[in-house]
């Protein structure tokens, strides 16, 4: 059955030729990445989307990634998402309306001449990206969050980082500003101590990734006990103490590069979504690749929605002249969200 489906996907792609490009996130399952023209992290895929000439971009990833691809591609290009159920829960933790309300409270608490620059992680919806652009801020991914912070401090006094408090904390530590952060409860902004907001330069929204939050320091200790020669690399969406206990931290592209550049016989434990750890074990049999927490499967439910049957369905639809599961950002948000994404692409170069 799998071979038959794989043949159908390949046949539809062959028929569509240069009219279609399939972008696959590193967390997609094997049966999807095998058919992707590019496999990458959020940053790399957004660059690929910006450069793509194809009329159709099929995004094997989650909604916010497909939205970003729609924003960044030309108006005559169409972005399709194989499953409309593929929504990252973290992106839903900072809704633009709620951020708007919290922003009013924050700006009322700080002095008039204190400039707050909002930075939203790519894992957010287009209306929030638009909001950030409007307030002089930008988008970042895990591979360029530190540069976005630097940009913000060149252009303002404080950063409001959302939605991921762990990436925000880890980035602050990377820039030696770990003692300048304050986590506050956006659901209860009034209850937050105003002096803490005035005193700290990095304000963290209370969002998180439920996959990466499950990694614990005990997992790192366990792997070091079981494999004394193991190196540990984790994603910066993990808790601060997990990142501190690991040898390295980085985006999914950095994790891939680290294993690619490892010497044969080296051991690397991978603290991120399980599919990437499995791909790396398959792609690099010369390296001893281990999932950081053994059998406890760190599987992203949103990414898993992209079933190969849906990829087949969307591709075969195009062959028949039907556009299925089109992702289209509202025109009133698009231009501003694009500005926030362009600022990111510019700072990374």
- Give the residue ranges of the annotated binding site for iminosuccinate: 25, 42, 121-123, 142, 235-237, 252
What residues numbered 89-118 form the site for ligand SF4, per CB under 6 A? 89-90
Residue 211 Cβ, how far from ligand SF4 at the closest point, in Å? Answer: 4
- For residues 332 and 314, give the distance between their C-alpha atoms in angstroms, rounded to a whole number: 27
Tell which one of 46, 73, 78, 123 touches ligand SF4 (CB under 6 A). Answer: 123
Enumerate the known binding-site residues: 25, 42, 88, 121-123, 142, 209, 235-237, 252, 300
Enumerate the known binding-site residues for [4Fe-4S] cluster: 88, 209, 300
Among 149, 136, 148, 142, which Cα is nearest to 336's? 136
Residue 133 Cβ, how far from ligand 13P at the closest point, in Å? Answer: 20
Binding segment for ligand SF4 among 207-215, 251-259, 286-294, 341-349 (CB under 6 A)? 207-215
Burial of 98 (0-12, 13-18, 19+ CB in 10 A): middle
Residue 306 makes contact with ligand SF4 by CB under 6 A: no
Tokens 């509202």 found at? 330
- For residues 116 and 202, give the distance between their C-alpha atoms in angstroms, rounded to a whole number: 9
**DSSP-derived secondary structure letter, 37:** S
Residues that bind ligand 13P (CB under 6 A): 26, 41-43, 123, 141-142, 209, 235, 237, 251-252
Residue 214 Cβ, how far from ligand SF4 at the closest point, in Å? Answer: 10
Structure tokens at 92: 């839903």
Among 23, 121, 28, 31, which Cα is nearest to 79's? 23
Residue 122 makes contact with ligand SF4 by CB under 6 A: no
Residue 32 near residue 60, CB atoms below 8 Å = yes
Judged by beta carbon distances under 5 to 8 A according to partner kind, the member of ligand 13P, ligand SF4, none in contact with residue 136 is none
């Amino acid at each position: 059955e799998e071979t038959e489906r794989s043949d159908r996907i390949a046949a539809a792609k062959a028929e569509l030729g240069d009219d279609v490009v399939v972008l696959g996130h590193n967390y997609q399952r094997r049966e999807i990445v095998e058919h992707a023209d590019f496999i990458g992290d959020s940053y790399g895929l957004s660059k690929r989307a910006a450069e793509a000439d194809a009329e159709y971009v099929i995004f094997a990833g989650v909604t916010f990634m497909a939205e970003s691809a729609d924003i960044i591609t030309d108006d005559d290009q169409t972005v399709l998402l194989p499953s409309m159920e593929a929504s990252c829960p973290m992106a839903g933790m900072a809704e633009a309306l709620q951020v708007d309300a919290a922003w009013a409270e924050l700006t009322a608490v700080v002095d008039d001449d204190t400039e707050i620059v909002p930075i939203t992680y790519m894992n957010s919806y287009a209306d929030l990206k638009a909001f950030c652009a409007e307030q002089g801020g930008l988008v970042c991914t895990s591979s360029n969050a530190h540069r976005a912070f630097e940009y913000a401090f060149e252009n303002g006094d404080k950063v409001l980082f959302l939605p991921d408090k762990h990436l925000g904390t880890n980035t602050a530590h990377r820039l030696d500003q770990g003692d300048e952060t304050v986590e506050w409860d956006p659901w209860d902004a009034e209850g937050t101590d105003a002096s803490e907001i005035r005193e700290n330069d990095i304000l963290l929204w209370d969002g998180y990734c439920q996959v990466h939050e499950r990694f614990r320091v005990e997992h790192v200790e366990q792997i070091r006990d079981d494999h004394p020669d193991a190196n540990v690399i984790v994603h910066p969406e993990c808790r601060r103490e997990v990142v501190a206990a690991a040898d390295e931290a980085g985006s999914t592209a950095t994790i891939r590069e680290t294993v690619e550049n490892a010497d044969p016989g080296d051991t690397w434990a991978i603290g991120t979504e399980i599919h990437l750890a499995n791909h790396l074990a398959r792609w690099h049999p010369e390296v001893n690749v281990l999932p950081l927490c053994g059998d406890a499967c760190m599987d992203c439910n949103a990414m898993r929605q992209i079933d190969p049957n849906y990829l087949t369905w969307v591709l075969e639809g195009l062959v028949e002249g039907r556009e299925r599961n089109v992702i289209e950002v509202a025109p009133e948000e698009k231009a501003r969200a694009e500005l926030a994404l362009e600022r990111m692409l510019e700072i990374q170069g």
